[in-house]
């Protein structure tokens, strides 16, 4: 079994991971971390909740540290130790300092210090914020000085400009539109970028964001190491990403790194289907929740393909005395944060969202995903179902659909290689139709 130390990570980051009770790398991390540490550029794909963010953050922060502080190094991890065991921290100091000082910015002579070197672009404000939080966690109490900044469209440009002046971040996280705005204002320069990440690359290369993503990447000066990831990467998006990253499909780097051995949809998610007429779906949703409500661990994410219906569904659930929160496109930042906090804390056990608003969400403990429609797009089903069964746990994906939608689900069942179990409600209990 590979350990984080055997992958090449330093003891400092291994100890940071143990603060989260993370001892063993996931399948995708075992594949990606060594390749990024060696300087390779590539695309990788893995199911939601399998550790993609740490898969690129850990090695790229290691490389960034080496670039800024070449005369000092984090203590290497002990490759012989089982980092998957829960036996306390890795032995050894967090940093070996070969030069004077303790990592203070003013005594570091690197000409690159204080200049953006790592750029991480993501499509949604929520995902950008989560990435920034993970960077702050990994760098907490680090004996070298590396700053990060968050630049998203929902925040004040004035405050972001102050962050650039005050902190001079080496790591930039944000959505392409806001980063481009700051560049055009002359407040942010990207000519020194050495590392690029396009998180949820399929969405960044979708029609509505492709122009901004392409313009952003065009501002970077080669050579730079690039990586892109998502739970799904259709062929069209893959070609666009390869082009943006300066890779060719025929090259080794042009291949998608996949963790096909960690097929969460097949192994960790149970798939259920309920037939319903369109006008009766919300009533059936209420009955399904009532049948599940006895489960103390119940925490359900409810999807609708029509964003303009989110508020109506939330209102109906409250009418049924089922406290729920909602997310939809165009929602202001404060309301979105309030809804997410209520769901994360357990104040509400039901969160209704559109597919667009849910992109980038990273919420642990979701026991059930309930879809009030069935899309023909397999990627939508994968992204929805991937919100449950995280961190080795099991989950349930429930689809409520009309006759036509059940035919779509049957087609998806074959395409994805999953088994969907028909269910009905009888006497307030969920069971197979023939029982």
CA separation, residue 182 to residues 138, 159, 267 (Å): 26, 12, 44
pLDDT of residue 316: 94
Query: How many residues appear in the chain?
Result: 435
Cα gap 220→194, rounded to integer Å? 9
pLDDT tens string 142-171: 988 999 999 999 789 999 999 999 999 999
User: How sure is the predictor about 95, in pLDDT bands with cuts at 50, 70 and 90?
Assistant: very low
CATH number of the domain located at residue range(s) 11-258 in this protein: 3.40.50.300
Residue 123 has pLDDT above 80, yes or no: yes
Cα gap 227→30, rounded to integer Å? 16
Q: What is the pLDDT averaged over residues 27-37?
A: 94
pTM: 0.75
pLDDT tens string 290-321: 999 877 789 999 999 988 899 999 999 999 99
Q: Where are the domains of the chain?
A: 11-258, 264-431
Mean pLDDT of the chain: 86
Residue 286 has pLDDT above 60, yes or no: yes
To the nearest whole percent, how much of the chain has pLDDT over 70?
A: 87
To the nearest whole percent, how much of the chain has pLDDT over 90?
A: 64
User: How sure is the predictor about 72, in pLDDT bands with cuts at 50, 70 and 90?
Assistant: low
Range name among 93-102, 238-247, 282-291, 329-338 with the lowest pLDDT average: 93-102
Range name among 43-47, 48-52, 193-197 with the lowest pLDDT average: 48-52
pLDDT tens string 373-394: 999 888 899 889 988 987 678 8
What class has domain 264-431? alpha beta
Cα gap 199→194, rounded to integer Å? 16
pLDDT of residue 375: 92
Q: What is the pLDDT averaged over residues 99-114?
A: 52
- Fold match, 11-258 / 264-431: yes
80: β partners: none
pLDDT tens string 193-250: 999 999 999 999 999 899 999 999 999 999 999 999 998 888 889 999 999 998 876 6
pLDDT tens string 133-145: 999 999 999 988 9
Q: What is the pLDDT averaged over residues 7-15?
A: 94
pLDDT of residue 105: 44
pLDDT of residue 297: 83
User: How sure is the predictor about 83, in pLDDT bands with cuts at 50, 70 and 90?
Assistant: very low
CA separation, residue 49 to residues 135, 221, 328, 428 (Å): 17, 33, 22, 32
pLDDT of residue 328: 85
CA-closest candidate to residue 46, choices 366, 361, 382, 301: 382
Three-state SS string over the chain comes to CCCCCCCCCEHHHHHHHHHCCCCCCCHHHHHHHHHHHCCCCEEEECCCCCCHHHHHHHHHHHHHHHHHCCCCEECECCCCCCCCCCCCCCCCCCEECCCCCCCCHHHCCCCCCCCCCEEEECCCHHHHHHHHHHHHHHHCCCCCCCCEEEECCCCCHHHHHHHHHHHCCCEEEECHHHHHHHHHCCCCCCCCCCEEEEECHHHHCCHHHHHHHHHHHHCCCCCCEEEEEECCCCHHHHHHHHHHCCCCCCCHHHCEEECCCCCHHHHCEEEEEEECCHHHHHHHHHHHHHHHCCCCCCCEEEEECCHHHHHHHHHHHHHCCCCEEEECCCCCHHHHHHHHHHHHHCCCCEEEEEHHHHCCCCCCCCCEEEECCCCCCHHHHHHHHCCCCCCCCCEEEEEEECHHHHHHHHHHHHHHCCCEEECEEECCEEECCCC
pLDDT of residue 104: 42
pLDDT of residue 293: 82
pLDDT tens string 218-231: 999 999 999 999 98
96 vs 197, higher pLDDT: 197
């Amino acid at each position: 079994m590979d350990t984080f130390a055997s992958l090449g990570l330093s003891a400092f980051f291994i100890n940071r991971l143990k603060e989260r009770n993370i001892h063993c790398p996931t399948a995708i991390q075992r594949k990606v971390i060594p390749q990024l540490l060696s300087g390779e550029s590539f695309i990788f794909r893995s199911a939601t909740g399998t550790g993609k963010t740490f898969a690129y953050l850990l090695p790229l922060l290691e490389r960034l540290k080496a670039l800024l502080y070449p005369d000092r190094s984090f203590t290497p991890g002990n490759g012989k130790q089982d980092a998957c065991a829960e036996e306390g921290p890795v032995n050894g100091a967090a940093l070996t300092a070969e030069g004077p000082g303790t990592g203070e910015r003013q005594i570091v002579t690197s000409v690159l210090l204080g200049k953006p070197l790592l750029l991480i672009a993501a499509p949604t404000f929520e995902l950008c914020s989560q990435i920034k939080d993970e960077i702050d966690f990994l760098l907490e109490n680090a004996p070298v000085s590396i700053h990060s900044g968050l630049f998203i469209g929902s925040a004040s440009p004035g405050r972001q400009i102050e962050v650039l002046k005050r902190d001079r971040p080496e790591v930039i996280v944000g959505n392409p539109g806001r980063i481009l705005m700051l560049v055009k204002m002359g407040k942010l320069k990207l000519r020194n970028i050495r590392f690029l990440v396009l998180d949820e690359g399929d969405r960044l290369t979708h029609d509505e964001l492709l122009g901004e993503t392409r313009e952003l990447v065009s501002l970077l000066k080669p050579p730079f190491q690039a990586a892109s990831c998502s739970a799904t990467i259709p062929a069209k998006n893959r070609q666009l990403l390869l082009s943006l990253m300066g890779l060719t499909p025929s090259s080794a780097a042009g291949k998608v790194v996949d963790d096909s051995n960690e097929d969460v949809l097949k192994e960790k998610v149970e798939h259920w289907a309920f037939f319903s007429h369109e006008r009766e779906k919300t009533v059936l949703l209420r009955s399904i929740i009532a049948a599940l409500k006895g489960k103390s661990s119940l925490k359900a994410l409810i999807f609708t393909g029509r964003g303009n219906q989110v508020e109506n569904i939330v209102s109906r659930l409250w009418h049924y005395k089922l406290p729920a929160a909602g997310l939809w496109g165009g929602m202001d930042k404060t309301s979105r944060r309030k809804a997410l906090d209520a769901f994360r804390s357990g104040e509400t056990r039901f969160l209704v969202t559109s597919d667009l608003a849910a992109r980038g969400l990273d919420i642990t403990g979701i026991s059930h995903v309930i879809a009030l429609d069935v899309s023909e797009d397999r990627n939508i089903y994968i992204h929805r179902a991937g919100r449950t069964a995280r961190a080795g746990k099991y989950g349930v994906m429930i689809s409520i659909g009309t006759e036509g939608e059940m035919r779509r689900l049957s087609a998806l069942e074959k395409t994805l290689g999953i088994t969907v179990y028909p269910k009905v409600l009888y006497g307030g209990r969920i069971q197979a139709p023939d029982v």
